Structure 1
Amino acid sequence: MSSHYEPSAVTVLGLGPMGQSLASAFLDAGLRTTVWNRTPGRDRGLIERGAIGARSAQEAVAASDLTVVCVVNYDAADAVLRRDVVADALKGRTVVNLTADTPGRARDTAAWAAGHGIQYLDGAIMTPTTTIGTSAAVFIHSGPEELYREHRPVLDTLGGTHTHLGEEIGRAAAYDIALLDIFWTAMAGYAHALAVAKAEGVTARELAPFAKGIGAILPPLFEQLAEGVDSGSFSGEGNPITSGVSSMAHIIHTSEAHGIDAGVMRAAEGMARRVIGLGHGADGFIRIAEVLGRR
């Protein structure tokens, strides 16, 4: 491990695949970068490229005014940051937490940071490790705008698009959760579709170009339906939810005829039938969002 006296521009805590990519991008940009990981040895390649390997998390955060954290979840982040010696070393410095977790956890960590004199920004990375350091990377941030502006030059070296979503600290995590909700439910739908297609003798490769066509229908629909949801208009003109329920029933029947679990589609159909039962049968499928949100 190398000793150092000159302050680093940035410290990276967590050297999983994403943490490695972040540290690598900082190094590529010529920033003096200190790195630390709970499991030793992961910093070897980065040190060979000029990173400073800290012997402890305390030493790592003390090396820079800005620490970027990217670990598996907030339990892992808390296990590092909330140790007294690390919290003491962070006093007066800034943490940008790019760890994915819930909005509630982001707010809790921000409150803890404020109580320890630590400046705190939350964020999320919306693209894979391969995009970091390129124009394809997408980062979202929330927290004090002035603090964000102060550290923006360093964050910009990670490449891509950086968007500050507002001062409310949980906002980046809220976007992240909502966007991952779209991704994982879509992926679950695709996995289910492939299982049904296979049972009917259709290969994944044969289905793929048509699946892409269905996917391409979605982006303009997202825009169009968002306006309706925000204005409280759930028009089903041309495609009422009663029509949707009919096609969902066909998917469930075909799936279960092959012994394929149709639980996800049954859940969607159940929500749609609830909307119809509440007297909204002429509305579009997106009325479900409003019904789900009722308390």
Structure 2
Amino acid sequence: MTANTQEKTPLTLLGLGAMGTALARTWLAAGHPLTVWNRTPGRAAGLVGEGAKPAGGAPEAVAASTLVVVCLLDDASVGEALADADLAGKDLVNLTTTTPAQARARAEWARGRGARYLDGGIMAVPPMIGVPEAGGYVFYSGDTELFEEHRETLAVPAGTTYVGEDAGHAALHDVALLSAMYGMVAGATHAFALIRKEDIDPVAFAPLLVDWITAMAGPSVTGTARKLASGDYTRDVVSNLAMQVAGVPTFVTTAEEQGVSPELLSPYFELMRRRLALGSGEEDLTGLVDLLARGE
């Protein structure tokens, strides 16, 4: 063990799936003493060859370090893995994908067992871990002091963005951004379907689609945020709701002509119509946020 390794914070990692293994390798490469555990022991073999210390069970792994990072399948697996572990005095960082409510409940559970708790939402795929230029990062929420004490260690695999003391906020930010991603991909899927049977090269069409989405996304997202904050949904409106609803038949008819199902767009168009029926024709699309949030 080198002097450099001795200076680095030791930690334990529970869970050696694709993401866990990527996390482990970056901490090992940075010189952090690392204890690892996985329900299937064979997955630790490669990491042991790189310097990790294997633990025979989760309780043993937890006992090895003050800082314990968990990256398992789901919230239930976290509870099962830590059921017999002594968490008193531990700093528990949970990078398992969960819901906000599960994260808050797990934070209370951890505090009840004497641990400080930090929840994380990983905004990256395994190949982005340990590659700063890839732009991956992790949302963290929960115990502020824990985050500040271990910020440097947590930043080794990917960037860190702290979003508050509410333990559920990391998971909420994670799901909110991923939800937006799926909405964007849904729109792109519909666009490609429209041109699929035509003599249009999808490779040539792709940069046009990327440029258009990029140009529209920034002003739309920031504009919506400002209107939500101000409460005025009619300020600086370029294309009002009434005009946009009037244009819906063109999109539906074009899909029909191209033999494309409108099912990816229809729910959004229906929200637009419902909002217009409330007398919100001079607004832009911001009011749809309230329509969803209130379940009207």
What's the TM-score, normalizing by structure 1?
A: 0.90
Structure 1 position 241, deviation (Å) = 1.6
Alignment of 1:202-221 (within 5 A): 202-217=200-215, 218-221=217-220
2:9–2:153 CA contact under 8 A, matched in 1: no
Structure 1 position 259, deviation (Å) = 4.2
> What is the match of residue 169 of structure 1?
167
Q: How far apart in 2 are the matches of 1:13 and 1:204? A: 43
> What is the match of residue 280 of structure 1?
280
Q: Is 1:230 paired with 2:235?
A: no
Q: Is 1:195 paired with 2:193?
A: yes
Q: How far apart in 1 are the matches of 2:248 and 2:63? A: 57
Letter in 1 for 2:285: F
Letter in 1 for 2:15: G
> What is the match of residue 180 of structure 1?
178
Summarize the Cα distance change of 1:274–1:165 in structure 2 as closer, same or farther, 3 Å threshold.
Answer: same
Letter in 2 for 1:273: R
2:9–2:33 CA contact under 8 A, matched in 1: yes
> What is the match of residue 40 of structure 1?
41
Summarize the Cα distance change of 1:246–1:36 in structure 2 as closer, same or farther, 3 Å threshold.
Answer: farther
2:11–2:67 CA contact under 8 A, matched in 1: yes
Match of 2:107 among 82, 107, 110: 110
Q: How far apart in 2 are the matches of 1:254 and 1:39? A: 52
Alignment of 1:259-274 (within 5 A): 259-274=259-274
Structure 1 position 285, deviation (Å) = 1.4
> What is the match of residue 20 of structure 2?
19
1:249–1:269 CA contact under 8 A, matched in 2: no
> What is the match of residue 152 of structure 1?
151
Summarize the Cα distance change of 1:258–1:153 in structure 2 as closer, same or farther, 3 Å threshold.
Answer: same
Letter in 2 for 1:125: I
Letter in 1 for 2:14: L
Q: How far apart in 2 are the matches of 1:243 and 1:207? A: 27
Structure 1 position 180, deviation (Å) = 0.9
Letter in 2 for 1:182: A
> What is the match of residue 255 of structure 1?
255
Alignment of 1:17-166 (within 5 A): 17-81=18-82, 83=83, 85-86=84-85, 89-135=86-132, 136-159=135-158, 161-166=159-164
Letter in 2 for 1:29: A
Aligned residues: 285
- Secondary structure of 1:90's counterpart equals coil
Q: How far apart in 1 are the matches of 2:247 and 2:191? A: 14
Letter in 1 for 2:206: A
Structure 1 position 102, deviation (Å) = 0.8
- Secondary structure of 1:100's counterpart equals coil
Q: Deviations over 1:116-153 (max 9, x none)?
A: 11221101111222222232221111112112112212
**Structure 2: gaps spanning 5 or more residues:** 1-5
1:8–1:34 CA contact under 8 A, matched in 2: no
What's the TM-score, normalizing by structure 2?
A: 0.90
Structure 1 position 27, deviation (Å) = 0.5
> What is the match of residue 3 of structure 2?
none
Structure 1 position 109, deviation (Å) = 0.7
Structure 1 position 171, deviation (Å) = 1.0
Q: How far apart in 2 are the matches of 1:142 and 1:17? A: 23
% identical equivalent positions? 36
**Structure 1: gaps spanning 5 or more residues:** 1-5
Q: Deviations over 1:11-67 (max 9, x none)?
A: 111111111111111011100011111123111221111111112111111111111
Structure 1 position 92, deviation (Å) = 1.6
1:275–1:288 CA contact under 8 A, matched in 2: yes
